[in-house]
Amino acid sequence: MNIQLGRLVLLDTSVVVHLARQDFTGREIEKRFNLTGRAERPLISTITEGELLGLAKYWKWGKAKIGIPNAIMDELVRVEASHREIIEIYAELYAEGRSNGLPCGENDLWIAATAKAANAVLLTCDDHFDWLHSRHITRIYIPEAPKQSESAPQNEG
């Protein structure tokens, strides 16, 4: 699936992780969607920012390695999760998911609410957004490349 010119794009945490790692999946995402060359810069939720920095600390990325996702985030348009419309959409998604026993983490719901409020296409490598797709948001699922020689940096300094 291609993204129409002029359509906003919101990056999920999983996508930014791959871009920061500069692994095969990250390079394919950049190549396929030309994120750095788009006229309209991709969006990032403040929820993704927190999640990403939390993962970097969990994986014990050193100061230099944490600089990579920070540099990526500096090039994106930051969307505050505190906007009233995002909060209202989050509440609707939360209630629907809970009422119907649908799986979705709270961070994922915030990110989905941000995509819906911005009328943005959500790029993700997670299948957690499956029940939200087409009913609430437009998302493009990007399968991760099999992990062979490239693995998550666990203890890089």
Pick the CATH number of 9-141 from 3.90.870.10, 3.40.50.880, 3.40.50.1010, 3.40.50.300: 3.40.50.1010
70: left (phi over 0), alpha (psi -120 to 50) or beta: alpha
The neighbouring-strand residues paired with 43 are 10, 77
| Inter-residue contact 3 to 35 (CB < 8 Å) | no
Encoded amino acid at 18, one letter:
H
Where are the chain's structural domains? 9-141
Q: What is the pLDDT along the chain (157 residues), one digit of tens a residue?
A: 778 888 999 999 999 999 999 999 999 999 999 999 999 999 999 999 999 999 999 999 888 888 888 888 899 999 999 999 999 999 999 999 889 888 778 999 999 999 999 999 999 998 877 888 767 789 999 999 887 544 444 444 4
CA pair distance 100, 96, nearest whole angstrom:
6
**pTM listed for this prediction:** 0.87
- Side by side, which strands form the sheet with 9-11? 77-79, 43-45, 9-11, 121-124, 138-141
Q: Is the dihedral of CA 122, 138, 127, 22 positive or negative?
A: negative
pLDDT digits (tens, 9 = 90+) for 82-108: 999 999 999 999 999 889 888 778 999
